[in-house]
Amino acid sequence: MRYFQTRVSENRSLEGGYFVLTLSGCEALKASKPGQFVMVRGEWERDPLLPRAFSLMTVGGDGTAEILAKVVGTGTSLLSRAALGETVQVLGPLGHGFPEPSVDCFDLLVAGGVGLPPLLMQAEAAAAAGLASQSELLYGGRRAVDIVLGERLLQIGTAIHISTEDGSKGHKGRITEVLLQRLQAAKKLGKKVRILSCGPNPMLHAVGAIAEAEGIESHLSLEEVMACGIGVCLGCAIPAKSRPFRYVCKDGPVFDGADLVYETKLKIGT
Amino acid sequence: MNDNINFKVESGGLSFQNPILTASGTFGYGKEFEGLLDLRCIGGLVTKGISPKPRYGNPTPRICETASGMINSIGLENVGVEGFRTEKLPYLKICGTRVLVNFFGATIDEYVGCAESLGAMDGVDGLEMNVSCPNIKAGGIEFGTEPSVLVDLVRACRAVTRKPLWIKLTPNTSNIVALARACADGGADGLSVINTVTAMAIDIHTRRPKIATTFGGLSGPAIKPIALRMVHQIHRAGVGLPISGIGGIQNATDVIEFLLAGASTVQIGTQSFIDPAVSGDLVEGLREYCATHGVSDIRELVGALRLS
């Protein structure tokens, strides 16, 4: 595996600084699993210096791949403005993804903000396997503008529950409040319930704590700054129970929630 | 394309098929690059720094990006001497390139213990000593910043191994030549120049340092001019030890600059994070330069800087 050259075939900007970047020439990503990620760099030379990690949102049979991102710094700003035909270097698929959808399980897919892509991919994979009714997508953001790709989500056929902190769309409050409600309903289905989640760290910590308290299996996709994506720079260390540190790029990005150490400085529910 | 160009170099007690090595801390234990880079294409690799016992490293955040560079404070996380022997060495023995093992300690005794154990291992071609560590018995001053301490440390390690012994110098000094001379006096075989430059970065929104330990080591193209200057100072001073140039090398042009400044080998560091395959691609760039400039042997470039 090495970096391969792709081209921007579409760059769609959404409200709120979000954008969907479609790259062609991604045949190497065809077998990617939901939750796996890629390292991405434009023809940037030295500013920014390092590639950026993104979860995959879609890998098409036609060799295209999509990522959803939000402009937060120089790298995402440059990518958001990448022109059609521009070349982008990609390394992947990297890391371990979510467990596969199963007829024996009911999965609560909990997405926060820009953490949507791997869960969208998981929901679409489940639907493609005829398991759309075996999961629900719980999707939270600060404001209505943080809830993106609504039409595509509706097409999946999986039940969707939205929350916004300001109440401008869906339930007013945090997505973890919705999770607590839906968890009670899911438990009554008589199947093994799993939580699959991706979003900001405070949200993931709260989701992990809920799973732990309820005795439910959780699979959490973490984000950390990383320079390489291949287990060499050791920048993306996170504290764990099984070892002092685990690495988001090699051991994750999806972790068994029971192995994570929930930092006290990030108070649960805040 | 002229295929008769010689890329082989003899440096620091070792022969290399080409002058491209990979730098400690940016190349794991080699195996991490399996499938990403054919190790048989590079001159050699330098492993992650090994200490007597395993270390788990620093709290996070451990890295941040800066202008043309990055700061890291990983905390010298490593598997320790025994972990290295049992888990990492078997692969290195068959990896197909020269292997230098980087090592460090918190006391002179720890350094000596590492040098002796690692130097005795089959499959270890040479040792590279990291002297940028705080000397616990001397109030935490880095071993590598005081020539009188450094010469003792090098001499003590020299006494316990016959394997080639390179010293990786810290740039956090006002007199790099004095440190280089101390290494020569202590019996070293080569110098690796330079380690990272002590640095910091601040998040103005949280008013916190961007890495957990406040200070870290700056690497990447930002430090290349500093590294070149130090390589050249040591070369010009006639210290008498071969130099492996390190600091922000991204492409063949950068490699050639280091050779001209006086390095006989180079080490690729941060760029391996950006492009894991880069070290295998650089020889082609060297070949083009040599062909264009009528250079038949890469060694002709070493120290060939024109100053008048």
Question: Measured between CB atoms, which of A47, A51, A237 is closest to B274?
Answer: A51
pLDDT tens by residue, A111-131: 999 999 999 999 999 999 999
Distance CA(A63)–CA(B31), nearest Å, equals: 30
**CATH topology assigned to domain A4-94:** Elongation Factor Tu (Ef-tu); domain 3 (2.40.30)
Per-residue CA distances from B38 to A89, B8, B30, B277 (Å): 20, 18, 10, 8
Given a cut of 70, is residue B1 above it in pLDDT?
no
Beta strands (DSSP E) in chain A are 4-13, 18-24, 37-42, 52-55, 58-59, 64-70, 87-94, 105-112, 135-141, 159-164, 171-172, 192-198, 217-221, 237-239, 245-247, 254-256
Strands A18-24 and A64-70: antiparallel
Residue pLDDT, tens place only, B163-184: 999 999 999 999 999 999 999 9
Q: Is B204 on the interface with A (CB under 8 A)?
A: no
Each residue's pLDDT tens digit, B243-299: 999 999 999 999 999 999 999 999 999 999 999 999 999 999 999 999 999 999 999
B36 inside 8 A of chain A by CB = yes
Catalytic residue set of B: 133
Closest CB from B26, B27, B36 relative to A2: B36
Q: Residue A186 in contact with residue A179, Cβ under 8 Å?
A: no
- For residue range B97-144, what is the model confidence (pLDDT) as tens digits? 999 999 999 999 999 999 999 999 999 999 999 999 877 777 777 899
**Chain A residues with beta carbon closer than 8 angstroms to that of B57:** 234, 237, 244-245
| Strand-pair category, B216-219 with B69-72 | antiparallel
Q: Do B270 and A49 touch (CB under 8 A)?
A: yes
pLDDT tens across A201-214, in order? 999 999 999 999 99
CB nearest B57 (choices: A47, A230, A234): A234
- The CATH number of B9-57+76-198+218-301 is 3.20.20.70
> What average pLDDT does the segment A80-101 reach?
97
Q: Which of B61, B63, B69 sits opposite A233 (nearest CB)?
A: B63
Reduced to 3 states (helix: H, G, I; strand: E, B; else coil), residue B117 is: helix
Q: What pLDDT was estimated at residue A265? A: 41
Confidence of residue B242 (pLDDT cuts 50, 70, 90): very high
The beta-strand segments (E) located in B26-153 are: 44-46, 63-66, 69-72, 98-103, 126-130, 134-135, 141-142
Angle of helix B224-237 relative to helix B252-261, nearest 10 degrees, comes to 30
Percentage, residues of chain B above pLDDT 90: 94
pLDDT at A262 > cutoff 90: no
Contact B278, B289 (CB under 8 A): no
CA atoms within 13 A on the CB side of B137: 7
pLDDT single digits (tens) A5-22: 999 999 999 999 999 999
> Is A105 at the interface with chain B, CB within 8 A?
no
Answer whether A41 sits within 8 Å of B26, measured CB to CB.
Answer: no
- Distance between CA atoms of residues B154 and B134, nearest Å: 16
Residue B30 is predicted with a pLDDT of: 97
Judging contacts by C-beta atoms under 8 Å, the chain A residues touching residue B36 are 1-2, 230
Q: Where are the domains of chain B?
A: 9-57+76-198+218-301
CB distance from A266 to chain B under 8 Å? no
pLDDT at residue B139 in the model: 74
Instruction: Give the residue on B whose Cα is nearest the Cα of A226.
Output: B63
CB-based contact A237 B62, cutoff 8 Å = yes
Residues of A in contact with B68 (CB under 8 A): 46-47, 49
Contacts of A89 in chain B (CB under 8 A): 275
What's residue B218's pLDDT? 97
Phi-psi region of A183 (alpha: psi -120 to 50; beta: other; left: phi over 0): alpha
Which residues from A are below 8 Å from B26, CB to CB?
232-233
pLDDT of residue B140: 73
Position A266 scores a pLDDT of: 38
Spell out a b/e string for A10-24, using b for 16 or more CB atoms within 10 Å of the CB, else e. Answer: ebeeeebbbbbbbbb
Q: Is A52 on the interface with B (CB under 8 A)?
A: no
Question: Which pairs count as long-range contacts for B116-121, CB under 8 Å and 24+ apart, including other chains?
Answer: B116/B160, B116/B161, B117/B81, B117/B85, B118/B50, B118/B81, B118/B84, B118/B161, B119/B160, B119/B161, B119/B162, B119/B163, B119/B165, B120/B161, B121/B85, B121/B89
Q: How far is B181 from chain A (nearest CA, A)?
A: 32
Residue A242 is classified by DSSP as: S
CATH 3.40.50.80 assigned to A105-259: yes
Report the pLDDT value the prediction gives residue B33, as an integer from 0 to 100: 97
The pLDDT of residue A263:
63
pLDDT of A72-88, one tens digit each?
Answer: 999 999 999 999 999 99
Nearest to B227 by CA among B261, B204, B250: B261
For residue B167, which of B152, B189, B199 has the smallest C-alpha distance?
B189
Any A CB within 8 A of B220 CB: yes
Centre a 10 Å sphere on the Cβ of residue B61 and count the other Cβ atoms it contains.
22
Q: Per-domain residue ranges for chain A? A: 4-94, 105-259
**Which residues of B fall within a CB distance of 8 Å from A1?**
35-36
Which helix (H) or strand (E) element contains residue B293? Answer: helix B278-293
| Closest Cβ opposite residue B57 in set A3, A232, A237 | A237
Q: pLDDT tens digits, residue range B152-166?
A: 999 999 999 999 999
Taking all residues of chain B, what is their mean pLDDT, rounded to a whole number? 96
Q: Among B29, B203, B274, B278, which would you mutate to test the A interface (most chain A Cβ atoms within 10 Å of its Cβ)?
A: B274
Compute how many other C-beta atoms are within 10 angstroms of the C-beta atom of residue B253: 12
Contact B32 A230 (CB under 8 A): yes
**Using CB atoms, which residue from A48, A91, A227 is nearest to B63?**
A227
CB contact under 8 A, B56 and A244: yes
